[in-house]
Structures are given as structure tokens and as C-alpha cells.
Amino acid sequence: MKKLVVLGAGESGVGAAMLAKQKGWEVFVSDKGEIKDNHKHVLKNLVIAWEENQHSEAKILTADEVVKSPGIPDTVALIKKLKEKGIPVISEIEFAARYTTANLIAITGSNGKTTVTNWINFLLKNANYSVEAGGNIGNSFAALVAENPKENYVLELSSFQLDGIKQFRPNIGIITNITADHLDRYEYDFDKYVAAKFRIAKNQTEKDYLIFDADNPAIQDYLKKHKIKAKKLPLSSKKIETDGAFIDKKEIKVLIENNEFTMPKADIALKGAHNTKNAMAAATVAQLLKIRKQTIRESLEGFQGVEHRLEKVLKINNVQYINDSKATNTNATYYALDSMTSETVWIVGGVDKGNVYEELLPLVNKSVKAIICLGVDNEKIVKSFQNCVKDIFETQSMDEAVKMAYHLAKSGDSVLLSPACASFDLFKNYEDRGRQFKESVRKL
């Protein structure tokens, strides 16, 4: 019996362990931290051996193959030892793909990938497809393959997940955009981060499709320098002459092999230029799958968006509170600030991933009346904006930040949580941060 070691007992690790056990592997799960109770429960039920708060190297180095958590960098000493011994180290995405013949639609990008993933899943379900979404959101790909087999999977993939692929090949790949993010993981080298995103197309053939934002400079630059085998379908705000999608005055147009879909921009459920592109990506997939145009139209009109992404929470004293906790980089926050049409109290901060705040200055000048920093180290934020915003405050808890925003905001204003940073200094993750924001708002 071949032995699989799973490093990290989070959502992806436990999913990989479940699938491996089902497929007849001897499985051992090792986590350097504490394993959550619900994950322990799954491992115990399936009689899978596990350890927490340590990595027993002697045991791990006897593996035939290792699936590692996307959060573990390749630079860790244990990963180097495994590779020196010639033991393959792969991602859970790579492992799961071996055990399904489903149609795979994979989405990556610095921003917008969760919205696009959910929008495509919503659209395919409306068309009565056998489909489930997962990967970097919801259930892991491996858990879906083990417990919820479908004919189609829509997968959100982070660059970390793509780092661990060898042969994973999506039938349709989507790159929403690429801007500076996670540079701490890529030695502060933007080109390495771009290359990680483009791994989505690494194994694609001429039979596959790559949908991408043709207006994004990093994507344009990469495509000029590298050959991609997949059929390329650009998304653009300007007219294009090839198959793909573009904005024509007040309409979006999607053209695939002389089959055209058009729809007024005003009818798309989610507003903002970035969401128009997200809708175009979803419509392009639907056109490739030859879904009825009426179903596409209804799905673009009826989609409600995702939690923690420009989510309107409550209006109190005519002040709108908006939860954009999923904005973990400056580009995502750029979209949020750009969509503000009123004076805004902006709650920002967390773990900086190499952020450059200069691009936000014009938007901050235009609509931000006060900044509330919410993080352990706020020095860089204060320094970046002290010359254009007079009122900048520092806080250490969500309750304190929301109460302060309540006193600063006047009737007609907005309070926007759009942190531009990771959440791990004060919160478990961005979901925890967003939920705490909503709870604090409801307590006002």
C-alpha cells in the first residue's frame, strides 16, 4: 500500500486525506499547529492517523508522495528535505484532479476570482448542469471529488495552490487580473507572482480555453513573452476583432465562433467596472458551454454577489455600512474606493503584504473624509495618507473601529471596511474580520 503524507490539516489537507483513504492509500496527516475539532472529527471517523503541534520528520520522510497545504512555502526546511530525497510534493488540487474526469473550470487572479467562481457556479446551476464550486472557497476540490462527484467543477485557485501543480489541466482557465499581491511569498519579485498565476495554463492544450483580462498590463506583458497553447479569449473594455468579450458603448458583447451574446451593462446585477468584467468572464464560459442566452441573461441579472465583497450591511442614521473584508490588497481596495459615491469613513489595515498605497491617493483625496487604522502596525498607512486626510485614527479592535466610525460619519456618508491587507494580526481570516464588522455594526 502506497503511503501519502498530508502536511497541514486545514480544509484542503483534510479533503486530500479523505480522498486518499477512499482510493486505498495509507494516509498520515501532520500539522505543525493545532488541528480544528471539526477536522479531527473527520480524521477520527475515517480512521486516518494524524499528529498536531509537530512534524515527525522520520515518519514524514518515509512517504511515497506528499500533499502540502498551500500555506506552506517551498523554502521550509522540511519541504527541501523531501525534495532532496526525491519524494514528490504536490498540491491538493493536483492530487484531486487525478481522480475525476469532470469538466474543470478554474479561476485565478489577484481580485475578482471569488465573484467569478460563484457567478459561473450560479449560472451553470440555473442551466441545470451537474456542478459544484470549491477550491480556495467552500469545500476543497479533493473533498468534492470524494463526497460530491459532479460532471463540472468550478474552482477558485490561489497562486499558492497553483505552485503545487504538475499535470493539473483545466478545460477552461480564467485569469481575472494580476496586480501586486503576496509579494512576500515570491521574494518581492512581481514576475515570479505573475508566473505563478499563469501556471493555470501550463498544461492546457489547443483543445482548452484561457479567458483573461486583455486590458491588464501584467497579463499583456506575459502573453507577449510566452507562448500559450490554449485558445485565448480576451475580455476588454475596448472593441476586439477576435473571439472573446468586450464593451460596446452601453452593452457587453460575447462572441464565440460567430455565436454572439449581447446585454445592456445597466442590467448586470453587480455594479462597477470590475464587476462588468466579472460578468463578461461568466458569460464567456456560458457561451463556450452553449447555454441558452435567456439563462445567461437571467443569471447576470439575478446574481447577488458574495459575502465580504462590497456587501451592504446596514444603513444607520442614513449612513451606509459596507463590508469589503475580502479586499486583502490595494487593488481590491482601489475597486471599492472607486465605487464610493459619497463621503467615506475608511477602515483599513492589517498585515501588509508589500503594499504600495500611492495608487489609492487620488481616490482617497476624492471621497475619504477620515481613516481608521485597524492593525498591529499602522505606520505605513499613516505615513502614506497623512498629507491628504486630516483625521487618521489608530484602533486595535473591530468594536472600537466601528464605534469610532459611527461618531465620525454624518448623514449621507458611508463607512467602508476595505482593509487592503491580510487579517492575521487581529483576526483568524478575512471572513472572521468581516463577520466581526457586521456584528459590531448591528450592535450600534
Q: Residues 23, 3: contact at Cβ < 8 Å?
A: no
Which class does domain 3-90 fall in?
alpha beta
- For the domain covering 311-443, report its CATH number: 3.90.190.20
Locate the DSSP E strands across 167-276: 172-175, 209-213, 231-236, 244-248, 251-256, 259-264
What residue spans of 228-319 are helical by DSSP H? 273-288, 293-302
User: What is the spatial distance between Cα 323 and Cα 57, in angstroms, rounded to a whole number?
Assistant: 43
Q: How far apart are CA 118 and CA 154, in angstroms?
A: 8
Sign of torsion, CA 139 145 151 156?
positive
pLDDT for 30: 97
Among the residues of 76-183, which ranges form H helices? 77-84, 92-97, 113-126, 141-147, 159-163
Which pairs from 17-22 meet CB under 8 Å and 24+ separation? 17/43, 17/46, 17/48, 18/42, 18/46, 18/48, 18/142, 18/143, 18/146, 18/147, 19/95, 19/96, 19/99, 19/142, 19/143, 19/145, 19/146, 20/67, 20/95, 21/46, 21/47, 21/48, 22/146
Q: 216-223 long-range contacts, Cβ below 8 Å, gap at least 24?
A: 216/177, 216/178, 216/179, 218/177, 218/178, 218/179, 218/190, 218/194, 219/175, 219/177, 219/178, 221/194, 222/178, 222/194, 222/195, 222/198
**Cα(225)–Cα(248) distance, integer angstroms:** 29
Contact 97, 141 (CB under 8 A): yes
Q: Which residues are annotated as a binding site for ATP?
A: 109-115
CATH of domain 94-302: 3.40.1190.10
Burial class, 381, CB count within 10 angstroms (exposed 0-12 / middle 13-18 / buried 19+): buried
Indicate the domain borders of the chain: 3-90, 94-302, 311-443
Residue ranges of the binding site? 109-115
Hey, what's the torsion of the CAs at 296, 209, 290, 95, to 10 degrees? -90
Residue 127's pLDDT is 97
Dihedral-angle region of residue 249 (phi above 0 means left; psi in -120 to 50 means alpha; beta otherwise):
left
pLDDT at residue 439 in the model: 97
- Residue 351 gets which letter from DSSP? B
Q: Are 419 and 333 in contact (CB under 8 A)?
A: yes
Mean pLDDT, each 10-residue run in order, the chain (444 residues)? 95 96 97 94 95 95 95 91 95 96 97 93 97 94 96 95 93 93 73 92 97 96 96 96 94 95 94 90 98 97 87 94 92 89 95 85 95 91 93 95 97 96 88 96 95
The reply to whether 311-443 shares the fold of 3-90 is no
Q: Are 99 and 265 in contact (CB under 8 A)?
A: no
pLDDT of 191: 86
